[in-house]
Amino acid sequence: MSPRSFFSQLFSLRKTDHNLANRNKDNTCQQRTRWHYIVQFFIVVALLSSAVWLLMAIWYQFGSHSPISWLVTAMIVSLLTSLLTLRYFSNIFNNKLSKNKTVESRLSKGNIAKNTASNSIAFNKGTTTKITATKWLFGLYTSVWLIGVGWFISITPQQQRDWQPDVSQRLSYQRDSNNPDLITFTNVRNFDWHSANETNANKTSKNTVERWESRTVDLSKLSGVDVINSYWMGPLIAHTLVSFRFEDDRPLSFSLEIRKENGEYFSALGGFFKRFELSLIAAEERDIIYTRTNVRGEQVYLFPVSHLQQREIRSLFESYLTVADELNTEPAWYNTLTSNCTNIIFYMARIVSGQRLPWDYRIWVSGWLPNYLYDIGMLDAAPEQDGQPWSMDKWYEQAHINPKVKGFVNQSPDTTDMSISDVRNSDFSTQIRQGIPIPLLADSHAIRVNPN
């Protein structure tokens, strides 16, 4: 090989290696740039999300008529707008400006060095100023946000407010000293609710007759439990109640609800921001179910739970007593996601069942709770139809309460006569269970099948 050919190949290899190194360097820079943009994107999302959360907390706590809501909103929006504009959107403007200056410098070839030096100095000064301003704005926004978080954490639930009548009283109870199975409740709700038709027929009647009563139940007579779903916001969202049945007495219903103040309305979003205290209501079914079926027009379904032993039902009942004790000792917040009417029941039921209830997304999608019970085999006590057990569609058809109580007159002839009121309570509880198979307790059923 001639010397000329050798050096020609050598330089060509060096040139190839140099080009390969440049390409690798460019690829590395592109990857770094890509990750840089991804990180910046999540930073912007985090800033916007934090601002939205704090603003929603403030607006749900103080309301739209409070000057505090508008003042804090203006402050946060101004800080965040200035920060994002200076940190991110100014780069677009600077890039365009630098391109224009580059073009101008190329047109004046004689001043290239001078323009380059002056642009470099101006760029460095501008970059330093922007970084300093960005740090100050970010620090100020972070301080405001942390103060807001501290304020939110400091908000505590209260026992004394101007409550609406249906949640104005707190449930309490006392055990009989000689027989611990006898529980006497105070402030069991037994309101007379009247639909619009009943109110119009009797111009002198009020829409609601308030009545808080005492009632004694015998835990040794517990015979079953029913899950009641009241749909008020489409098929996915329902309010869940639990009714306990007794052998020789009418059922007693428990409902975990928001404790609304006068003039206050439920908000699912507000439930995330400490807007409502939690309330435990014990009530007669003629009160707490009739108001949903006949007064509010909600669609209500009753599902008797099967394969339960009396000790499990008793433990679930005792769990409600524990909740009553806790709320009387220290009030708690209702939370749309973690402490609502459905998942609290599931937490209690899972504990008393020895953790045998599996976790499922339908615990949080309360409207599908009956489907969950059906799938885990706790709604299979229905009689067979044409040789087949009931489908879920059949269960919904039979469990629908509204057609069974349509036209039920809820007004007692004498609201002061407790015996008449008790009869009407029993009549209503019997009527809503028409056409629904009521299962025996699992342990009592086993005794009947195999007495030995």
Q: What is the DSSP track for 374-412?
A: HHTTSS--SPPBTTBPPPHHHHHHHHB-HHHHTT-----
What is the arithmetic mean of pLDDT over 405-419? 69
Check if the beta carbon of residue 428 is closer than 8 Å to that of residue 409. Answer: no
Residue 124 binned pLDDT confidence (cut-offs 50, 70, 90): low
> For residues 435 and 304, is the Cβ–Cβ distance under 8 A?
no
142 three-class SS:
helix
pLDDT of residue 182: 97
Ramachandran bin of 187, using left for φ above 0, alpha for ψ from -120 to 50, beta for the remaining angles: left
Kindly tell me if the per-residue pLDDT of 438 is higher than 70.
yes
Contact between 183 and 321 under an 8 Å Cβ cutoff? The reply is yes
Alpha helices, DSSP H only, in 63-111?
67-84, 90-107
The amino acid at residue 159 is: Q
Q: Residue 80 phi/psi, 5° resolution?
A: -70, -40
Instruction: Give yes or no for a contact between 76 and 55, defined as CB atoms under 8 angstroms apart.
Output: yes
What is the C-alpha to C-alpha distance for residues 329 and 420, in angstroms, rounded to an integer? 35
Q: Provide the 8-state DSSP code for 207.
A: S
Q: Where are the beta strands (DSSP E) in 178-237?
A: 182-189, 192-193, 208-209, 212-218, 222-231
Is pLDDT of 252 > 80? yes
Q: Which of 24-33, 245-254, 281-290 has the lowest mean pLDDT?
A: 24-33
Q: Which of 53, 52, 132, 124 is nearest to 87 (CA)?
A: 132
The pLDDT of residue 205: 45
The per-residue pLDDT for 28 is 61
pLDDT band at 445 (very low <50, low <70, confident <90, very high): very low
d(CA 124, CA 133): 14
Which residue, 196, 212, 204, 205, is CA-closest to 163? Answer: 212
Q: Does the pLDDT of residue 21 top 60, yes or no?
A: no
Q: Residue 61 carries which side chain, given as an amino acid letter?
A: Q
Contact 58, 71 (CB under 8 A): no
Of 290 and 443, which is predicted with more confidence?
290
Region 337-349: what's the mean pLDDT?
71
Tell whether the model's pLDDT for residue 91 goes beyond 60: no
Q: How far apart are CA 226 and CA 303, in angstroms?
A: 5
How many other CB atoms are there within 10 angstroms of residue 348's CB atom?
A: 20
Percent of the chain with pLDDT over 90: 42
What pLDDT, on the 0 to 100 scale, is given for residue 417? 60
Q: Which of 3-12, 107-116, 253-262, 408-417 has the highest mean pLDDT?
A: 253-262
Tokens of 56: 């929603």
Higher pLDDT, residue 78 or 412: 78
Arithmetic mean of pLDDT, 205-222 = 88
pLDDT digits (tens, 9 = 90+) for 135-146: 888 889 999 999
Alpha helix (H) residue ranges in 266-383: 285-288, 290, 310-329, 343-352, 369-375
**Weakest-pLDDT range from 197-211, 279-293, 305-319, 413-427:** 197-211
- Give yes or no for residue 116 having a pLDDT over 60: no
Q: Give the least confident one: 48-57, 403-412, 425-434.
A: 403-412
pLDDT at 222 over 80: yes
* The pLDDT of residue 172 is above 50: yes
- pLDDT: which is higher, 390 or 98: 390
Range 81-101 average pLDDT = 63
Q: What is the mean pLDDT of residues 313-324?
A: 92
For range 351-377, the mean pLDDT: 77
pLDDT exceeds cutoff 60 at 203: no
| CA triple 396-397-398, angle to 5 deg | 95
Q: Which residues contact 407 (CB under 8 A, 6 or more apart)?
A: none
At a CB cut-off of 8 Å and minimum separation 6, what does 314 contact? Answer: 219, 222
The pLDDT, as a whole number, for residue 196 is 63
Mean residue pLDDT across the chain: 80
In this structure, which amino acid lies at residue 234? G
Instruction: Look at 159 and 36; give whichever has higher pLDDT.
Output: 159
Sequence-distant (6+) residues with CB within 8 A of 277 are 157, 158, 161, 258, 259, 331, 332, 333, 334
Q: Choose between 394 and 389: higher pLDDT.
A: 394
218: helix, strand or coil: strand
pTM of the model: 0.78
Measured CA to CA, the distance from residue 259 to residue 166 in angstroms comes to 9
